[in-house]
């Protein structure tokens, strides 16, 4: 059998290309902002994770520019060897303090962060127990570990307990959950997860990629939102969303971080965060600290849009996050609506299997704190008209 026989595209890919509704790899020709120029036309951006709008913040951009001039373009080595900057150390100290943990460790991408933490901590006799809607990087990290993975139904605490009961008494357990789920906008049922973890002597890790900078006190994330920072063992986040940069972070006790620094292969064998990205993240964190009202303003805008869509007759699922899914269910209908919206000047994300189940396809809209109500009204009018047509 030829190794490359698998390169033939699945029938659906060719079908949607021929139908003119292929939704991927659109070319962005401007800054990532509330409106963008994409393939030569103005589009209202409702598909970005730039939650606080800091990709165009002057302080953040200037910090990246200054770091580029001072440190150059990259570190040309891993953190373990020649790739640790004073900027990395400062960022880790400030992030740990911000989320309320003893220490933090940064990596070059959010995806890599989950690989580093989970694959290192979950050993041959351990169990990783995951919400079925966790991010793909969590599942890949579990595969890389030598432990066993069990999945529980989304936010189903009875099913989680059933999975915990299956674990042998002498096995280590890490319960892993997204804080804010990226497709539905649901917030994890963290109080119940923590209670079950205490009952079954498990540890808890929260992937707060979509929570940090969004919910909690001043944007401190899901653990802060529930007042459970001391009960969550590991807080993961990424810098490509609220922090308007690139990279990722694990915050935990000093012992956990020290262990990961010396054992996490994705950390040890990867080049460190570039100086410009590190400086931009530091500047974004400074803005978030100085403007704790930004996350609440973002949530207020999300509430405004949920009410606006409902008033316009668009079916949505209730959530508290700035992620508002419009369920379209059928794949081809989803693709067609997505293309119509794009042509009308609104960019949203088209979510298909395997990111969702085959009968739960959706259009994912996400907001920025820099959106205005006027711009959202313009977008909602277009969405309502296209969905109804």
Could you tell me the residue ranges of all domains in the chain? 3-51+292-388, 58-290
Does the structure show a pLDDT above 80 at 9? no
291 flagged as catalytic: no
**Model confidence at 247, in pLDDT bands (50, 70, 90)?**
very high
Strands 127-131 vs 173-178: parallel, antiparallel or unpaired: parallel
Nearest by Cα to 176 from 226, 235, 120, 221: 235
Does the structure show a pLDDT above 90 at 36? yes
pLDDT in tens, 53-79: 999 999 999 999 999 999 999 999 999
Q: Under DSSP, is residue 97 helix (H, G, I), strand (E, B) or coil? A: helix
In the CATH scheme, what is the code of domain 58-290? 3.40.640.10
Residue pair 250/234 in contact (Cβ under 8 Å)? The answer is: yes
Beta bridge partners, 324, equal 365
**Model confidence at 358, in pLDDT bands (50, 70, 90)?**
confident
Given 101, 135, 210, 371, which residue is catalytic? 210
Does the structure show a pLDDT above 80 at 88? yes
**Model confidence at 318, in pLDDT bands (50, 70, 90)?**
confident
Instruction: Find where tokens 């849009």 sit.
Output: 305
Q: Per-residue pLDDT averaged across 273-288, rounded?
A: 98
Half-sphere exposure of 369 (CA within 13 A, CB side): 26
- Poorest-pLDDT segment among 83-97, 241-255, 326-340: 326-340
Does the structure show a pLDDT above 80 at 12? no
331-341: buried (b, 16+ CB within 10 Å) or exposed (e) per residue?
A: beebbbbbbbb
Nearest by Cα to 252 from 215, 281, 223, 289: 223
**How far apart (Å, rounded) are the C-alpha atoms in residues 210 and 368?**
12
Instruction: Find where tokens 């919206």 sit.
Output: 341
- Poorest-pLDDT segment among 42-46, 126-130, 255-259, 314-318: 314-318
182 flagged as catalytic: yes
**How far apart (Å, rounded) are the C-alpha atoms in residues 30 and 37?**
5
Strands 173-178 vs 203-207: parallel, antiparallel or unpaired: parallel
186: burial class by Cβ within 10 Å (0-12, 13-18, 19+)?
Answer: buried
Separation in Å, CA 76 to CA 71, 130, 215, 220: 11, 35, 35, 32
Q: Per-residue pLDDT averaged across 10-35, rounded?
A: 91
Q: Under DSSP, is residue 203 helix (H, G, I), strand (E, B) or coil? A: strand
Per-chain mean pLDDT for the chain? 95
Given 155, 182, 245, 272, which residue is catalytic? 182
- Poorest-pLDDT segment among 114-128, 244-258, 284-298, 317-331: 317-331
Residue pair 180/323 in contact (Cβ under 8 Å)? The answer is: yes
pLDDT of residue 319: 82
Q: What angle do CA 166, 171, 174 make, to 5 degrees?
A: 85
Nearest by Cα to 236 from 145, 338, 106, 97: 106
Task: Taking each helix axis as running N to C, give the angle between helix 331-344 and helix 11-18, from 0 to 180 degrees, rounded to the nearest 10.
Answer: 40
372-380 contacts, C-beta under 8 A, 24 or more apart? 372/34, 373/301, 373/304, 375/34, 375/35, 375/44, 376/301, 376/304, 376/305, 376/308, 377/308, 378/44, 379/44, 379/46, 379/346, 380/305, 380/308, 380/309, 380/312, 380/314
pLDDT of residue 8: 78
pLDDT of residue 308: 97
**Model confidence at 287, in pLDDT bands (50, 70, 90)?**
very high
pLDDT of residue 302: 97
- Dihedral angle at the C-alpha atoms of 221, 197, 201, 208, nearest 10 degrees? -30
Residues 6+ apart with CB under 8 A from 356: 183, 362
Given 88, 101, 135, 241, which residue is catalytic? 241
Q: Under DSSP, is residue 130 helix (H, G, I), strand (E, B) or coil? A: strand
166 flagged as catalytic: no
Percentage of the chain with pLDDT > 90? Answer: 88
Does the structure show a pLDDT above 90 at 15? no
| Fold for the domain defined by 3-51+292-388 | 3.90.1150
Does the structure show a pLDDT above 90 at 356? no
Backbone angles phi, psi at 223, to 5 degrees: -60, -40
Instruction: Find where tokens 């900027």 sit.
Output: 87
**How far apart (Å, rounded) are the C-alpha atoms in residues 242 and 291?**
13
């Amino acid at each position: 059998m030829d190794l490359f026989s698998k390169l033939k595209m699945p029938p659906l890919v060719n079908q949607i290309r021929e139908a003119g509704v292929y939704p991927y790899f659109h070319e962005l020709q401007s800054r990532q902002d509330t409106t963008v120029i994409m393939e030569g036309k103005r589009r209202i951006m409702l598909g970005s994770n730039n939650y606080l709008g800091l990709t165009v913040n002057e302080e953040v951009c200037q910090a990246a520019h200054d770091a580029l001039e001072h440190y150059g373009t990259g570190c040309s080595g891993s953190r373990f060897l020649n790739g640790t900057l004073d900027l990395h150390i400062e960022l880790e100290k400030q992030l740990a303090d911000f989320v309320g943990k003893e220490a933090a460790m940064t990596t070059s991408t959010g995806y890599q962060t989950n690989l580093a933490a989970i694959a290192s901590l979950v050993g041959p006799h351990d169990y990783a127990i995951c919400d079925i809607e966790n991010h793909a990087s969590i599942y890949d990290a579990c595969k890389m570990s030598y432990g066993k993975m069990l999945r529980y139904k989304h936010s189903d605490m009875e099913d989680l307990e059933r999975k915990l009961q299956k674990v042998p008494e002498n096995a280590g357990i890490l319960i892993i959950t997204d804080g804010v789920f990226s497709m539905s906008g649901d917030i994890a049922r963290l109080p119940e997860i923590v209670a079950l973890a205490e009952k079954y002597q498990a540890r808890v890790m929260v992937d707060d990629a979509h929570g940090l900078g969004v919910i909690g006190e001043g944007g401190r994330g899901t653990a802060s939102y529930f007042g459970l920072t001391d009960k969550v063992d590991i807080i993961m986040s990424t810098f490509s969303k609220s922090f308007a940069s690139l990279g990722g972070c694990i915050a935990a006790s000093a012992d956990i971080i020290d262990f990961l620094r010396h054992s996490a292969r994705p950390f040890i064998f990867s080049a460190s965060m570039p100086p410009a990205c590190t400086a931009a993240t530091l500047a974004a964190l400074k803005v978030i600290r100085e403007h704790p009202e930004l996350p609440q303003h973002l949530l207020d805008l999300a509430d405004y849009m949920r009410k606006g869509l409902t008033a316009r007759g668009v079916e949505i699922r209730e959530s508290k996050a700035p992620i508002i899914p419009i369920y379209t269910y059928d794949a081809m209908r989803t693709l067609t609506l997505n293309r119509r919206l794009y042509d009308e000047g609104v960019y949203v994300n088209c979510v298909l299997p395997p990111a969702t189940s085959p009968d739960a396809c959706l259009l994912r809209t996400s907001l920025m704190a820099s959106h205005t109500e006027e711009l959202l009204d313009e977008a909602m009018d277009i969405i309502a008209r296209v969905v109804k047509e």
